[in-house]
Structures are given as structure tokens and as C-alpha cells.
Homo-oligomer: A and B are copies of this chain.
Amino acid sequence: MLLFIAANAAAEEGMFLFTNPPKKAVADRFGFEMTDAWLQRVQKSSIRFPNGSASFVSPEGLVLTNHHVGASQIQELSTKENDLLANGFCAKTREEELPCKNTELLVLQSIEDVTGRVKDHVGLSVALFKRRLELEKAGVLPEETSPTTSSEVAEKARRAVIAAIEKESLDTTGLKSNVVTLYQGGQYHLYRYKVYTDVRLVFAPEQQAASFGGDPDNFEYPRYCLDCAFFRVYENGKPASTPDHLGWARENVKDGEPVFVSGHPGRTNREYIYDHLCFQRDFVLPRTMQRLYRLESLYSVWAERSEENRRRVKNELDYIKNSRKVRLGQLAGLQDPVLIGPKFDPGDLNSFRSTKDAEGEWKTEVIPGNPDTKRIYTILESWREFYDDYMLFEGGDAFNSKTFQIARTLVRLARESEKPNAERLREFQDANLETLKSRLFSDAPIYEDLEILKLTDSLSLLLTFRKDVIPAGPARKVEGEPNPVHPAGHVMGDTSPIKRATELVKGSKLRDVAERKRLAEGGLKAIEASDDPMIEFALLVDFHSRKLRTRYETDIEEPLKQAYAKLAEARFEKYGDTLYPDATFTLRLSYGAVKGYAEDDGTAVPPWTVLSGLYDRAALHTNQPPFDLTESWVRAREALDPETPFNLVSTNDIIGGNSGSPLLNTNAEVVGLIFDGNLQSLTGDMVYTDIQSRAVSVHAAIILEALRKVYGMERIAEELTGP
């Protein structure tokens, strides 16, 4: 695909590495020189938030992100009495800033290219393995049983060397260290992060103000969302000193002005070959959407039964609705010949052609000389065979419950801890253990009724897919004969989904953090001695789940990585560093311009909206949810400047994960806050166009105006702009 993209790349396409910034393109396009100092400052001001991006906007640790990015944190601070999501939160003094549960903010300190070391180690391991096979065959060495394929060896070796690099780095620098796989395995970079764990909530508007228009307006534009929130990081009980931070623009950004986004785009598939896109379109997306539709209905119906239900499930429901809309947009793009057509047979490395066979049927064939595209096709075919089972068991679709997730983590933690670091599942390796434990021991509320609802539904889903007896493997407590009426007898305990879910959830003590700690500290012994039904259940399904995980990593993930690595290599040879790698939820820079666009019917859409439009829109919908104004905005109306810019669009190339990223001018000053893309941007996953696709930001001006005149947060406005 990239051939096409590279050849026809839209002017402002690209999510660039900070180690390979688009200096020339930006200079050519805007006459702006991105200096190394500018880049350093932006990099060290950029923050990775658990579910998105953020930035430092004052020297005293003040953090700006989206309300929807910080929503989990805000919800976890809510109580039945005070729903901070609904009511918003304003810390009038620093003392009132509320410590969040279980929140880690990461700031990228350095990037090191470790491609050579990873590739050397993998190459050597495979060579050694092949040599041993020869010797075994020759009878010189006795036969060993595992591993059995060089792909397995490669995967293991890569995991081992990455784990070693990360551990060395952590031990040496004390910084959180992650090896990032770029270009589908073409490059490996070591990213070192400073970690902030004392994060406090400073300000959040009411969710209704943050996401005015709700799901109907999601991904739409023009918009009127104050989708922002402020947090502050602390060290040793005091606001952290953050000399690297962004300024705040004193003037409103202009139409056509160059703007930059520094953030963490999550995942793109722009290097996918045509068949891979078809696999996504015809196999993965329809399945994903089935799950999303199902959960959307389940959660919506439950939310309708009471206000308390609605509060409990709101975040999960919003997430599902958002995902559904994104997937729908992606599918629409992939089903549109205008979009996917050019991806077909671009005539170069990623090369297919269509011919008619004897019966007059169209066949797609790989042009000889591109074995890697053929290999990718074959790998995807075998992925089909166990995709559903994988998603149910290892993906957890069959056990949708936080209690189960905790139980599985405890069971695996006990088992993995007994292995050498390099051989553990990735999430249990030393470099990731702290994050894992902070999540495991979070005291965020878990609602018994919602847990039962979700687990009932997902066990019912399991029964639809699996009529046979679950292969129980060497797990403990597999007794009795399966029930012929309910062949998934062991897992279902011979009863109905609702009764099984009820007994598992109600019987479990894992909602108590102390019990989790006791089991985690007790290791395998404590797990085996436990009679917690959810622990027993997690043990029961773990053998099968892990088998699927191994199969996926060995037969799919690793071979795909290798095939794409070869394609990526070939691309490098041809295109050098004009290419940017697919998004990996690590720090990237994108450039663009503030710019309106035209809808299909010719309607001109302006580059930004203004405040008065918010009141007009609410009036048009007779102030009915989700288009209702909050009391605070009704009250403040007279004081506010109706011409204040509210939301704005720009051509920056972004994707999910970029939410909360600052939109910067050439002075590295905040002019906006990325919070969404328009409908036409939803295919950005696969392809970027600058015709209608736009990034949507909260305008810096409305943030100041609202802080001052709606929320009485002058102290923060002053911290942003200086006195």
C-alpha cells in the first residue's frame, strides 16, 4: 500500500517519528524550520495517558488532556453521592486536587535504535536451531522435543532479547523501558519513559459539556464540545517541576496556519496488503461489529432501567458506541471502490492482478516474484481457523467481567513468576510488572450486578460457539462427566449462563483488593489452595486459552511480522526514510493546516465554530439530551463572548490514541486540543486523504473562556497564560 501512498501521498499525510521528523516537507510547505530544540521541547512536553495523549502546559506539572481520555480516572473518583462525570469537578485550590487511582503518565525521555541487536540475536538463534536440527538428523545430537519450528525459535528469541534490553535499560536508567516494533518489524527502537504515578484531578467540566451532542454528534462536525480536563502530576507530595512544557497561544490560530500534533496515535494499518484489508473487511470487522452491536444493546437496555445503572455502565457504553461508529466508518471505507480500488494492483511490490479463469470467474493472483504477499495471504487463511476461539478464550469475549480478568491475571501471575523473565508472557515480564500490578490492585469499584450481566451475556455467547466439552487440559478440579444436554459442562457447571455467572460473581472475593494481594503474594500455592470460584474458573479455562495464545503468537503474529518485515525492507530500499511507520501508540508528530472543507452536497464547512453556535444548536433540539446545555453554561451565557472560537478542524493526520494531543503552532504553543476526527476521517486507519478528512480540536480560546467565566477556574487560566 505504501507504494501508492508514497507515490500519491497527500500533502500532509504522515505520523512521523521524532527521530525522523518531516523537516524538509514542513520547510517546503510552510517555510518553517523545525529545530532540534523545538522537537526536544515538544517531545518532553508530550505525555502518554493510559487511554490517549496529553501534555504539560505549565512548569508546575499541569497536564492537559481530553475529558474523554481522563473519563476512567474521573469516574473512579465518583461516588454514588457525587458523580464527577455528570457534575464536573473544580479544585479551587491545589489542596483540593484529587488523587487519582491507578494512573500512570509516561513522558518519553530518549529513543535508541536497537534494530541491530534484536535482529542479530534472532538470526543467530535461528541459525543455531537449524544447525541443531541438522545434527539431530545426522544422529550427532539426541532429538529434542521443543521448539519445533524456526518461527517459534525466532519468536522466542525476539521476546527474550527484547525483554533483556528492556530489563538492562530499566536497571541502568531507572526509566520505564519499552522496545517498540516499527515498520512491522523492520526496525526496533528502545523508548525510555519517566513515569508519574501521583496524578491528581484539577478540573473537569460536566461530561455533557465535554461531549455535547453525545453519540449522535460523535465524529460529526461542526461541533461544540469542551472535551478537556486538567490533571497535575506530583512528586514527593508536591507539584512536579516540569520545565519542559508547552506555551499557550495568546492569539487565535488563523485559517491556513500550520499546526502540529504531538501525540500517541494507536494503530494504523496503512502497510497492509490488499488481501489483508479484505481480511479485515470481510472477516474481522464484521465479527467485531457483531460483538459491539450486542454489547451496545446489552448495556443500553440495562442503563435504561435506572439512573444508577446508567452511571455504572456509562463509560463502557460510551466506549462501545464510539468503537461501533469507528468500525462502521472503516467498513464503509473498505467497501467503497473509490477508496479501496486504488489499493488493488498498484503494480509494484504489493502486487496482485485479477484474471478470469476457465469458468469465467475472477481470480486474484500474486504476481510472481512477491512471495511475501502470498505468505501473508496463507497466514491469514490459517488465522481464520481459530480466530473465533481465540477471541472467546484468550480475547476474553466469553468471560466479559472484571472479576474474571483479575482472576486470570492472578492465575497467570502465579505461573509466570516461576519462569525466567524472558520466557514469560509479555505482560508478566519485569519491565511491565509494575503497570500490571497497579492495575491488578486498583480499588476502582466493581459492580456485582453489572458483572453478572456481562458474564451472563458472554457465557451465553460462548455456548453459541462451543457445543463441545471444553478441553480442560491439566487444570485442577476437572471432575465428573460432561452433561450431554450441556456439553460445555465443565465451564458451565451444568447450569444456565445466568445462574453460572451469578454463582461465579457472587461467590468470588476478588472484588476485595486485600484478597487479591494475599493471592498474589502467596504465589502458585495460594492459587491452588484457593476455593474462590472465579479463581477455579480461570484455572479451568487457562490451559485452552494459553494454547490459543501460543498458537496465535507462533503461527500468526510472528510469521506475519516476518513477512511484513520483508516487505518493509524492500520498501526501505526503494523509498528510504520518506516513509513513516504505522502507528504503534508511541509518540509521533504530524503537521497540517487549519482548514475547512466541503461536504458531498457542496456545503462549505468552516474551519472553526463559535460559541453562539452552541446555544443555537441546543435551542434547535429544544435542549433535549444529548443536546442539552448544562446549568453552568446557561448561567454564564451573558458573561461569555459569543464569538469565541469553539472547535476547529485541521488537516493533521491523526488516529485513535491521538485524543488529548496538543495542537501546536510553530512557537510550540497550544492553539487547540485534539479530541476527534470527522466522519470522513474514519478510514484513516487504512488510508489518509486531505479532501474531507479532518482532525477536530477544542479551540484554545474556549478553554480559557470557560475556565474563567463558566467554571471560576481563573487560577488555572492564569497558570496557562502567565499572570
Contacts and interface: CB of A to CB of B under 8 A. Distances in A.
Given A294-B293, A300-B300, A498 B332 contact: yes
A86 interface: no
Interface stretch (A71-79, A477-485, A504-512, A583-591): A477-485
Contact of A286 (B216, B324, B464, B624): B464
B485 A216 contact: no
Nearest to A620: B306
A364 B484 contact: yes
A337 B293 contact: no
Contact of A216 (B304, B486, B621): B304
A293, A332, A336, A495 — most chain B CB neighbours (10 Å): A293
Interface string A193-234: 000000000000000000000111000000000000000000
Contacts of A469: 361-362
A87 B699 CA distance: 43
A580 interface: no
A553 B379 CA distance: 40
A82 interface: no
Given A294-B293, A497-B332, A485 B304 contact: no
B282 A485 contact: no
Q: How large is the interface on A (under 10, 10 to 19, 20 to 34, 35 or more residues)?
A: 35 or more
Nearest to A463: B335
Contact of A296 (B215, B293, B307, B335): B293
A23 interface: no
A494 B304 contact: no
Given A216-B305, A496-B336, A282 B464 contact: yes
Contacts of A675: none
A215 B304 contact: yes
A578 interface: no
A467 B362 contact: no
A667 interface: no
Given A286-B464, A469-B362, A484-B362, A301 B215 contact: yes
Interface string A288-313: 01100110110011001111000000
Most chain B C-beta atoms within 10 Å of own C-beta, residue among A214, A463, A467, A494: A463
A485 B341 contact: yes
A513 to B, nearest CB: 29
B496 A338 contact: yes
Chain A binding surface SS class: helix
A110 interface: no
B332 A460 contact: yes
A523 interface: no
A343 to B, nearest CB: 9
A487 interface: yes
A260 interface: no
Interface string A317-343: 000000010000001100111101100
A485 B344 contact: yes
A396 interface: no
Given A215-B301, A293-B290, A301-B215, A484 B354 contact: yes
A626 interface: yes
Contact of A496 (B282, B297, B332): B332
Nearest to A294: B293
A282 B463 CA distance: 8
Nearest to A278: B467
A337 B297 contact: no
Interface string A155-180: 00000000000000000000000000
Contacts of A341: 485
A498 B482 CA distance: 49
B485 A340 contact: yes
Contacts of A338: 495-496
A340 B484 CA distance: 11
Given A214-B304, A215-B304, A293-B296, A495 B337 contact: yes
Contacts of A215: 301, 304
Q: Most chain-B Cβ atoms within 10 A of its Cβ — which of A485, A486, A496? A: A485
Contacts of A487: 362
A495 B332 CA distance: 11
Contacts of A336: 495-496, 498-499
Contacts of A340: 485
A485 B286 CA distance: 18
A114 to B, nearest CB: 40
Nearest to A363: B484
Contacts of A460: 331-332, 335
10 contacts: A216-B304, A296-B296, A296-B297, A332-B497, A332-B498, A336-B495, A337-B496, A341-B485, A362-B484, A364-B484
Interface of A: 214-216, 281-282, 286, 289-290, 293-294, 296-297, 300-301, 304-307, 324, 331-332, 335-338, 340-341, 344, 354, 361-362, 364, 460, 463-464, 467-469, 482-487, 494-499, 621-622, 624, 626
Interchain residue pairs A-B with the least CB separation, the first 7: A354-B484, A336-B496, A293-B293, A216-B304, A286-B464, A362-B484, A216-B305
